[in-house]
Structures are given as structure tokens and as C-alpha cells.
Amino acid sequence: MATDSALRREARSWYEATWDPERPTGEWYRSMTEERWAYPTWPERWWGRALTTPQARIVREERQRAGALGPPSGIGPTLLAPMLFEHGTDDQCGRFLWGMAAEGWVFCQMLSEPEAGSDLANVQTIAEPDGDEWRVSGSKVWTSNADVVDYGMLLARTDPGAPKHHGLTFFLIARDQPGVDVRPLRQMTGDARFNQVFFDRARVLAGDRLGADGEGWGVTRTFLAHEKNSYNPAAHEGGPFGRVDLDRPAGETLERLRQHRTAASAGRGVGRLLTDLVARSGRGDDPLVRQDLARLWSERQLMTQTNRRSGTAAPSPRAVGPISKLTVSELTRGQRDTGLAVQGPWGALVGDDAWSPAFQYFALNSPSLSIAGGTDEIQRNHLAERALGLPRDPGPP
């Protein structure tokens, strides 16, 4: 394995020689993938270099130094890729890894159901064999970006007579087809970022089943382990989320990404917004407010240090995800409560009447952080039962 200094020289040389903002975005994606720079922690046989997390950080630094566009981000590289490495066939890895890395394919999760809540195994959506295909009927809910994705990561019941956690199978289902109806869900923020998806005998090719028939719960647990771990250092390589125009010059795609992030930082940089609210309220010397701010600062520093050390001194894999998820939820609630408290009665206002419309948006959206990906209560059960080995909660009488 090359030394870090040699790796840095190689990455710097490649990006300086190859990056051209006039190249089409799709051509740039393909170049990064073919030369194994897009996702360098991926296995070598799947367009990666099998680098460690610190080494991948070196590659990212050199890409940023060259001012080059990063590879696609999102649920595909974050969640589907590690699932494919563990459960996928060679054909699936070849198609879907190349699709997400070089062709910008977009994915969403289709696990939650209207009647199941956090009980993901209580699946009612049915997949029935139909020759060399499967036919899916049922409904999924809280599916972010389901209206624009190429594929959904779907958990369906293939054996209705089996116990709850058995008889489930995991599929990758094409979204743009007859029998798939996506309907937006309006949130209290005014956005419609989530959707409910209805299936009416939608097709899934036999080769798009991930894992064995009836073993979908094991595949889902791999998904959940990565979804809960917000410290996952391989989660984001800095490129665009969602669908992009592959014919657009890569430099233009990068500039749009920068503008979006600048706007997001200006509108939702929660730490800065909270500091501004405290200053406006004149309560910066209040001992209770200062105590809250110190606690929040400590929690942010803890998250940052954990992120930097991830992969070298991480705790048990069973504990990392729930701890990460709970820490994010706790920090979010603390920021929300402190920001609303220092505003006094003005904290009840939203929109243009509010001191900070962006912070009020964050406050309205904050409950979703403790629900999405499994509620805080579910995370504590995971920690207690699976990481610490404590007895399970007693069931109903």
C-alpha cells in the first residue's frame, strides 16, 4: 500500500491533470469512477482503491484543492453501496455501483409503512412471484425524493404465513413504471419533502432481489446500521445530492452546488443562527443561557471528534449507529429549545414576522430528527438489548 505522501502526490497529480470545468458532468463522473478516485474506500474490484478512512480524506483534500467537482452523494453511495458489498451479486454490484457512481442514479428507501410506525418488520406490502419477475402491491410512506429517484430500496413480504421477521425479501424496484404512484406529503414546515408510494402489481426483475428470498430482514439490518450512523465517514464525498443534468459542464454543476450550500449555510447554519438570537435577546450574560450554550458546544465538539476518529477507535458496531442517532436528536432538541426560549413570546412567530425565519423553520422541522430512521426510544432499546446485552422489554400480557 502506498504511503500517505505518495497517495497525496498521486491524487494531486491526477486532479490537476484531469479536472476540466468544461467537461460534461457525466463524463467527469465516469472518469473519476474508471480511475478509482470517486469512492476510494470501495473495494478495488468495484472501482475503488480499498483505502482507509484517513487515506480517503487525503484524496478528498486534494480534490478540493484542485477545485474539482465531487462524485454523487446521497442514499446510493451512503447506504446501498455497503449493502451491495455485503449482500449483492456480481451482476448487481456491477450495475448499481456503476449506475450511482458514473451515471448519477438516484435511490430512496421504501421501508416504512402507514400502519407500522417504527416496527419496520410489520410489513404488509406483498411481493408475489410471476414467472421470472415479482409483482408488488401495497404502500410505503415517508419516502424522501420518491418522485425523482431511479430505484427504491424496498422491503416486501413474500411469505405471508411466516413469523413477522421472517418471510421478508429486499428488492431494488424501478420507480418510473406503471403500477407505481407517488403522492407528496405536506409537512408543518410547508414543505413536501416526503411521499407516500402506492404499488399496484409493480414489476421487480428477478435479478433485482437483494439477498436471498425470505432473508430481507437481515439485509434491512445492514441498511439500518449505516442509516443510523451519522458519523459514517464514507457517507458524503462532497458531490451533488439528487439528480443532476449530466450534459451540463462540470464546472457549472459545481457552481450550482456551491450556491446551494451557501444558501443553506446562510439559512440554516443553526449554530450561527442561535448565536445571533442570543445576541439579539440581550441574554448572553444569563447564567442559564450560557450553561445551555456551553453544553451544546460540548456536544458538537464530541460529534466532531467522534467523526474524525471513526474507523480507528470506533465503539462496537452495534452501538455506533444508535449512539450517533441519539446524539443528533439531543443536540437538535437543545438548539431548538434554547433558541425558542431566548426569544420569549416572539418564539411563537414564524415567517417574515419571526426574528429568524430560518431558525423557526429549523424548530418546526426538528421533531423529524428524533423520528426518521427509528425513534429515540427504538435506539435506546437497540443499545440496551443488542449492544449491552440487557434483557428485552417484557411484552404485553
Given the residues 215, 227, 252, 330, the one annotated as active site = 227
Q: Which domains does the chain have, with CATH numbers?
A: 19-72+85-104+236-267 (no CATH), 107-228 (2.40.110.10), 269-387 (1.20.140.10)
Predicted local distance difference test score (pLDDT) of residue 305: 65
Contact partners, residue 136, CB within 8 Å, separation at least 6:
125, 126, 127, 154, 156, 171, 173, 179, 199, 201, 202, 203, 204
Predicted local distance difference test score (pLDDT) of residue 189: 85
The grid coordinates listed for 222 are: 445492514
Give dist(CA 222, CA 82) in Å, integer.
Answer: 8
Sign of CA dihedral 93, 97, 102, 105: positive
Query: What whole-number percentage of the chain has pLDDT above 90?
Result: 61
Decide: pTM greater than 0.75.
yes
Residuewise pLDDT in 10s, the chain (397 residues): 679 999 999 999 999 999 999 999 999 999 999 999 999 999 999 999 999 989 999 999 999 999 999 999 989 998 999 999 999 999 999 999 999 999 999 999 999 999 876 678 889 999 999 998 999 999 999 888 899 999 999 999 999 999 888 999 999 999 999 999 999 998 888 888 889 999 999 999 999 999 999 999 999 988 877 775 544 544 556 788 888 999 999 999 999 888 776 555 544 478 889 999 999 999 999 999 999 999 998 888 876 665 555 544 445 656 777 777 888 888 999 999 999 999 999 999 988 899 999 899 999 989 888 877 778 888 888 888 877 888 887 766 6
Q: What is the pLDDT of residues 115-158, one digit of tens each?
A: 876 678 889 999 999 998 999 999 999 888 899 999 999 999 99
Contact partners, residue 376, CB within 8 Å, separation at least 6:
325, 326, 329, 370
227 is catalytic: yes
The helix (H) or strand (E) run that includes residue 183 is: strand 180-185
DSSP 3-state assignment of 152? strand
Predicted local distance difference test score (pLDDT) of residue 316: 60
Predicted local distance difference test score (pLDDT) of residue 2: 73
Question: Scanning the structure block, which residue is given the C-alpha cell 446500521?
Answer: 225
